[in-house]
């Protein structure tokens, strides 16, 4: 490739290389230089590194206009040099390369050594090098909780392909053969972007031979997900038949989800209707917990009398009896739908010791949310609630669609499912089975400022989830708007195209100055991945999804159909 130059300082951490004429070198290539060094055992020192800058200039010119004079015979020499950031020294002896030492591009085993991939006991492919020649691996131990956990992805919406790369990572994990029990590994994807993720089980008809070759190079089958289930919201009718709210799939291919009033009360889900960030949010939390405790008591009492969707609450009605004296009439009312429950909650809230202003603020929010969630917390009618509960154990991948839900509805679904997963994992007390939770628009559910019950759930997963096998894969446009501890804990930090102002924030301090600039111009299908094993973030590319990402991409031909001439028999 070239030789270490002597006009710039060469150190054990970085050096410059004069490139040979017509040498095909690009940024992110891995290189090695071997040099004589006074190592303890007398062996030759190898310094591996990554090319992060390539610079061209004229030697011998003084003025900008000399570039024109050079064409007329001004004696100048073209100099193209590359800057190398050292990633590894073998042996670990910090001594600089010597000017004149030859430098070469590495591939294969030496490429793996340059990025410490030879030290990874368990690894999974996270993409290809930008040259397309090498597979880049991630250390599985830093994702499954053995040494670390969690992933955070940032990037501009529509360009950074955050959701596409997230599904690629899950596909790689489930099909790379490195997981000890892939059939018992689960992923829950909260889908907020239309119905694009409702085709994970359909083959992509736009897959090209080049895409197939990339999957083969990665050691992955070019097929759709084979174990996936889809949960969608019900149509916005509070009574009558349960109809899934979906247009791109047949009703029998999806499952509408809902909560009964009893499960809502028993599980203490009222808090997830109060997720707006505001000055009075934390003040309301005390009243919310008081009301939840009363609802839990009612649900426990109802459970003693047998299974069912509703609860029974005793109400007191004041009036006059036949003698015109004040009297109290106590009645027990069965509550099976959310509208009736909201009225009962008002009675409960008014009977607490909270200030009237707090009670009024509480009820304003509750009544503001009731029409937006009443079809999610409903009377099941003839439907079996167990069949419409989001059960993430049934398949490897569970897509929970939240298309067209109001913001309060999305928050309620995310918070309720997160609580369900955490309680189930805590009840078993074991790290298995692994459960990956994929949350897009993380800044909405875990904002940097304010109080929110979902924020506390996500923070608990980020800080302690790996001990219970609960792994968070979060994505957002702006990491600077997400709770600091949630974006600081992930072992894998990944960026696609970044907004210019966002790229300068402290949350992206793991990027080198050069990579910050590159993140501003990344194209779709390119990501920059940082992981603990590799000293510098590495740009990668990944193939087109083998599964359909839109309705018009799905391959509708039967899998065994072979097209050809029809032979007629006489």
Detail the DSSP E strand segments found in 192-325: 228-232, 255-256, 311-320
Q: What is the pLDDT of residue 333?
A: 80
Domain-ending residue, one of 373, 407, 438 = 373
- Count CB atoms within 10 A of the CB of residue 227: 15
Q: Residue 417, SS3?
A: helix
557 found inside a domain: no
Domain that residue 92 falls in: 2-114
Report the alpha-carbon distance of residue 492 to residue 487 in Å, rounded.
Answer: 10
The model scores a pTM over 0.85: yes
Query: For residue 259, what pLDDT is reported?
Result: 96
Give the whole-number percent of the chain exceeding pLDDT 90: 70
Question: CA 138 to CA 128: how far, in whole Å?
Answer: 11
What pairing do the DSSP bridges indicate for beta strands 255-256 and 228-232? parallel
User: Is residue 416 predicted with pLDDT exceeding 70?
Assistant: yes
User: Do both 250 and 266 map to the same domain?
Assistant: no
**In CATH, what number is assigned to the domain containing residue 429?**
3.40.50.300
What does the pLDDT look like over 433-463, one tens digit per residue?
999 999 999 999 999 887 788 999 999 999 9
State residue 187's pLDDT score: 96
pLDDT of residue 482: 94
pLDDT at 520 over 80: yes
- Are residues 531 and 414 part of one domain? yes
The closest alpha carbon to 256, from 242, 240, 274, belongs to: 242
- Banded pLDDT at 72 (limits 50, 70, 90): confident
Confidence of residue 568 (pLDDT cuts 50, 70, 90): very low
Does 232 share its domain with 282? no
pLDDT attached to residue 563: 43
Q: What is the pLDDT of residue 324?
A: 55
pLDDT, residue 298, reads 93
Is the predicted pLDDT of residue 43 greater than 50, yes or no? yes
Whether residues 410 and 527 share a domain: the answer is yes
N-to-C CA span, the chain: 69
Do 241 and 293 belong to one domain?
no
pLDDT at 250 over 80: yes
Answer whether the bond into residue 281 is a cis peptide, omega within 30°: no
Question: In this predicted structure, what is the pLDDT of residue 238?
Answer: 66
The verdict on residue 55 lying in a domain is yes
Question: In the chain, what is the greatest distance between 2 CA atoms, to the nearest angstrom?
Answer: 121
pLDDT at site 363: 94
> pLDDT at residue 318 above 70?
no
Residues 39 and 143 in one domain: no
**Pair 266, 248 in one domain:** no
Q: What is the pLDDT of residues 286-317, one digit of tens each?
A: 899 999 999 999 999 999 988 889 998 875 55
Q: Are residues 252 and 185 in the same domain?
A: yes
Average pLDDT over residues 381-402: 93
pLDDT at 329: 46
Q: Domain end: 339, 373, 407, which one? A: 373
pLDDT band at 400 (very low <50, low <70, confident <90, very high): very high
Percent of the chain with pLDDT over 70: 93
Give the pLDDT of residue 567.
Answer: 41
* CB neighbours of residue 143 within 10 Å: 28
Residue 569 lies in a domain: no
In a domain, 76, yes or no: yes
Of 127, 126, 123, the closest CA to residue 140 belongs to: 123
In a domain, 555, yes or no: no
For the stretch 326-366, pLDDT in tens is 544 445 788 999 999 999 999 999 998 889 999 999 999 99
Distance of CA 300 to the CA centre of its chain: 36
Q: Does 528 lie in the same domain as 407?
A: yes
Q: Do 397 and 510 sit in the same domain of this protein?
A: yes
**Residue 334: what pLDDT?**
86
Among 26-30, 45-49, 144-148, 425-429, the minimum mean pLDDT is found in: 425-429
Confidence of residue 280 (pLDDT cuts 50, 70, 90): low
Name the average pLDDT for the chain: 89
408, 543: one domain? yes
At residue 163, the pLDDT reads: 92
Q: 373, 399, 426 — which closes off a domain?
A: 373
Which of the four pLDDT bands, split at 50, 70 and 90, describes residue 562?
Answer: very low
Between 16-20, 459-463, 505-509, 561-565, the lowest mean confidence (pLDDT) is in: 561-565
- Amino acid 285: pLDDT: 86
Report residue 565's pLDDT band, with 50, 70 and 90 as the boundaries.
Answer: very low
pLDDT at position 552 is 86
160 DSSP assignment = S
Evaluate whether residue 411 is within a structural domain. yes
Q: Residue 492 falls within a domain, yes or no?
A: yes
Residues 127, 138: Cα–Cα separation, whole Å: 9
Number of domains in the chain: 3
Both 151 and 72 in one domain: the answer is no
**Confidence grade of residue 148 (pLDDT, cut at 50, 70, 90):** very high
- Cβ-proximal residues to 129 (8 Å cutoff; 6+ apart), any chain: 28, 29, 30, 111, 135, 136, 538, 540, 541
More confident residue, 511 or 328: 511
Does 379 reside within a domain? no
Which range has the worst mean pLDDT, 10-19, 274-283, 377-386?
Answer: 274-283
Query: Quick one: average pLDDT of 254-275?
Result: 94
């Amino acid at each position: 490739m070239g030789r270490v130059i002597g006009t710039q300082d060469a150190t054990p951490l970085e050096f410059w290389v004069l490139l040979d004429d017509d040498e095909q070198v690009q940024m992110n290539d891995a290189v090695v230089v071997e040099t004589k060094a006074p190592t303890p055992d007398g062996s030759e020192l190898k310094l591996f590194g990554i090319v992060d800058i390539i610079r061209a200039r004229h030697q011998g010119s003084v003025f900008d206009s000399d570039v024109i004079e050079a064409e007329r015979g001004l004696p100048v020499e073209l100099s193209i040099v590359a800057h190398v950031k050292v990633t590894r020294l073998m042996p670990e002896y910090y001594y600089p390369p010597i000017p004149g030492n030859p430098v070469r591009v590495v591939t294969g085993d030496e490429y793996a050594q340059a990025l410490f991939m030879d030290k990874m006991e368990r690894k999974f492919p996270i993409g290809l090098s930008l040259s397309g020649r090498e597979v880049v691996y991630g250390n599985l131990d830093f994702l499954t909780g053995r040494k670390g956990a969690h992933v955070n992805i940032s990037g501009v919406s529509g360009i950074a392909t955050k959701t596409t790369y997230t599904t690629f990572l899950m596909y790689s994990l489930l099909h790379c053969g490195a997981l000890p029990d892939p059939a018992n590994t689960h992923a829950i994807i909260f889908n907020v972007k239309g119905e694009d993720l409702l085709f994970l089980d359909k083959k992509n008809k736009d897959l090209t031979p080049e895409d197939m070759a990339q999957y083969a190079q990665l050691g992955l089958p070019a097929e759709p997900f084979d174990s996936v289930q889809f949960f969608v919201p019900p149509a916005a009718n509070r009574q009558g038949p349960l109809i899934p709210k979906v247009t791109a799939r047949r009703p029998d291919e999806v499952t509408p989800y809902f909560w009964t009033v009893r499960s809502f009360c028993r599980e203490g889900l009222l808090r997830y209707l109060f997720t707006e960030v505001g000055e009075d949010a934390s003040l309301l939390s005390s009243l919310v917990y008081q009301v939840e405790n009363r609802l839990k008591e009612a649900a426990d009492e109802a459970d003693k009398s047998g299974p069912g969707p509703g609860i029974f609450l005793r109400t007191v009605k004041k009036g006059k009896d036949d003698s015109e004296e004040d009297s109290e009439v106590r009645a027990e009312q069965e509550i099976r739908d959310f509208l009736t429950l909201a009225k009962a909650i008002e009675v409960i809230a008014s009977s607490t010791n909270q200030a009237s202003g707090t009670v009024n603020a509480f009820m304003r929010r509750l009544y503001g949310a009731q029409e937006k969630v009443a079809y999610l917390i409903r009377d099941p009618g003839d439907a079996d609630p167990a069949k419409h509960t989001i059960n993430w154990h049934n398949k490897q991948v569970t897509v929970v669609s939240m298309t067209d839900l109001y913001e309060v509805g999305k928050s309620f679904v995310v918070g309720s499912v997160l609580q369900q997963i955490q309680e189930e994992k805590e009840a078993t007390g074991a790290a298995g089975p692994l459960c990956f939770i994929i949350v897009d628009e993380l800044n909405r559910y875990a904002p940097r400022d304010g109080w929110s019950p979902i924020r506390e759930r996500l923070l608990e997963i980020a800080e302690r989830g790996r001990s219970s096998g609960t792994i968070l894969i979060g994505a957002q446009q702006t990491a600077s708007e997400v709770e600091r501890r949630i974006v600081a804990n992930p072992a894998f930090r990944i960026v696609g195209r970044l907004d210019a102002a966002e790229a300068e924030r402290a949350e992206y301090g793991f990027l080198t100055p050069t990579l910050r600039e590159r993140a501003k111009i990344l194209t779709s299908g390119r990501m920059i991945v940082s992981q603990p094993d590799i000293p510098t973030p590495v740009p990668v590319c990944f193939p087109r999804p083998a599964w359909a990402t839109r309705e018009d991409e799905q391959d509708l031909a039967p899998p065994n159909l072979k097209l050809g001439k029809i032979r007629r028999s006489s």
